[in-house]
Amino acid sequence: MMMARRFSIAECLARNASPIVLCGAIALIVIGTALANNAALDRTVIEALIRIVYVVGLYIFVGNSGVISFGHTAFMAIGAYATAWQDCCRTTKPLLMPALPNVLLEATVPPPLATIVSGVVASLFAAVVGVAIIRLSGISASIATFAVLAIVNVIFSNWDSLTAGTSTLVGIPNYTDHWFALLWAVIAIFAAHFYQTSRFGLSLRVSREDEVAAKASGVSIFSQRLIAFVISAFFVGVSGALYAHFLGTISVDAFYIDITLLTLAMLVVGGMNSLSGAVVGVGAISLLIEVLRQSEHGFALGSLTVSAPHGTQEIGLGVAMLIMLIFRRNGIAGNQEIGWRLSRFLAPQLQRSSKVTEDY
């Protein structure tokens, strides 16, 4: 019985080495940040955790299907506003969102539940629009996703009675801290891992490599893409809810071109065909952003204060992407999963344990 149990643990570690290593590293960073008790560092780490949820959600669709999406920020906007409709303070709702149903105007949903519901709302919206745009492929699908983002942005900017229009929406409880953001980052990473190693994920990855061969093998590309699209939208919607609960205020302008290009840059720099690349890309770009931001604010050299010119952050991100695309097209992770060495180390032990268990 003990040998069978050892086999089970070894098998679990071998098959899930990548998410275990990624989540362990992230958890160590969060614990160190919490112990440091630095407000600026806290903010940077929490923002990075929220971006991990977004980019991992984006990876579930883009990384497995090979279809670039410029419209996932629409799901983030839906998630952010959906959570505001649920748990914004009661005095603010009638003033800024009078068109809400009486049930939502008179009730306040707890932030953890509101976060989950917001992800579900984003998924339902993705299921509706996905039926129309997932049938497309290549650049046509990418343009269609951007069209969805533009439509959502225009609607939210003009629906004053439900979104406060272009005004800032206030009164959202500040609930997202290290631990809540870490919890969702871990959930997103493991969900992405289990999806990509499932029958659905493998079928979608086959269609990414060769659509003709996938169709000949009986894979329904439309169904597989739609499933990934809906799952992806859920986590991106959750990231919107986390963002709203982190800032306590949201505006339509925050969910448009800037965040779209930033998250795509993270996925490309890290390596868009691997889960590890998605997470590593967020860490690398977040670190670069913080360094460039500090350089714009300036640093002291003796009696002098030296600062980089305004716009250095945008230029730095552009240069980083160019360098990666020219010298390392597969990203920092090289489209490989972190933890593969652990899997290779455990594989012989796994085989020996399996043989001993069968003999037993």
Helical H segments across the chain, by residue range: 2-15, 17-36, 39-65, 73-87, 93-96, 102-106, 111-133, 138-158, 160-163, 178-196, 199-209, 211-216, 221-247, 257-270, 275-297, 312-327, 340-359
**CA nearest 342: which of 24, 82, 1?**
24
Nearest to 60, CA basis, from 123, 118, 146: 123
More confident residue, 137 or 302: 137
Identify which of 262, 178, 300, 236 has the alpha carbon closest to the alpha carbon of residue 59: 236
pLDDT at 359 over 60: no
Mean pLDDT computed over 115-121: 96
Burial of 192 (0-12, 13-18, 19+ CB in 10 A): buried
Domain harbouring 184, CATH code: 1.10.3470
Query: Going by DSSP bridges, is the β-strand pair 299-301/304-306 parallel, antiparallel, or unpaired?
Result: antiparallel
For residue 80, pLDDT over 70 is answered with yes
Q: Over 70: is that where the pLDDT of 300 sits?
A: no
Question: Which residues have CB under 8 Å from 170's CB, separation 6+?
Answer: 92, 96, 248, 249
Judged by average pLDDT, the poorest of 43-47, 159-163, 208-212 is 208-212
> Cβ of 27: how many Cβ atoms within 10 Å?
15
In whole angstroms, give the CA distance from residue 350 to residue 360: 15
Alpha-carbon gap, residue 205 to 202, rounded angstroms: 5
Tally the domains of the chain.
1
Domain hosting residue 11, numbered range: 2-359
Look over the chain and give the mean of its residue pLDDT values, rounded to a whole number.
Answer: 86
Q: How many CA atoms lie within 13 A of 328 on its CB side?
A: 17
Q: Would you call 72 helix, strand, or coil by DSSP?
A: coil
* b/e code 146-169 from CB counts within 10 Å (16+ = b): bebbeebbeebbeeeebbbeeeeb
- The pTM for the full model equals 0.89
Residues contacting residue 351 through CB under 8 Å, at least 6 positions apart = none
- The β-bridge partners of 301 are 304
| pLDDT tens per residue, range 234-293 | 999 999 999 999 999 999 999 999 899 899 989 989 988 899 999 999 999 998 888 888
- Residue 236: which of 292, 192, 288 has the closest Cα? 192
